[in-house]
Amino acid sequence: MKIFDLKNVISIKDFKKEDIKFILDESSKFEKIAKSQGTSNELSGKILGIMFFEASTRTRLSFETAMKRLGGDCIGFTGSDESSVIKGETIADTSKMFESYSDAILIRHSLEGVAKFISDLVNVPVVNAGDGAGQHPTQTLIDLYTIKKEFGKIKNINIALIGDLKYGRTVHSLSYALGIFGAKMHFISPNELKIPDEILHDLEKKKISYHETHDLKDVIDDLDILYVTRIQKERFSDVEEYERIKGAYLIDKNLIEGKSLIVMHPLPRIDEINHDVDNTKYNKYFKQAFNGVPVRMAILKNIIKH
Q: What does the binding site for ligand CP look like in residue numbers (CB under 6 A)?
A: 56-59, 130, 139, 266-268
Query: For residues 168 and 199, is the Cβ–Cβ distance under 8 A?
Result: no
Closest distance to ligand CP from the beta carbon of 267 (Å): 5
Q: Which helix (H) or strand (E) holds 42?
A: none
Please identify every residue annotated as catalytic.
Answer: 58-59, 87, 108, 136
Q: Which is nearer to ligand CP, 62 or 94 (CB)?
A: 62
Closest distance to ligand CP from the beta carbon of 93 (Å): 25
Three-class SS state of 162: strand
Q: Which is nearer to ligand CP, 163 or 184 (CB)?
A: 163
Q: Which is nearer to ligand CP, 58 or 296 (CB)?
A: 58
Comparing CA positions, the residue from 33, 34, 68, 78 lying closest to residue 48 is 68
Residue type, 68: K
Q: Which is nearer to ligand CP, 176 or 184 (CB)?
A: 176
Closest distance to ligand CP from the beta carbon of 293 (Å): 13
Count other C-beta atoms under 10 Å from residue 160's C-beta: 24
Closest distance to ligand CP from the beta carbon of 59 (Å): 3
Total H helices, total E strands in the chain = 12, 9
For residue 268, cis peptide bond before it (omega within 30 degrees of 0): yes
Count other C-beta atoms under 10 Å from residue 61's C-beta: 13
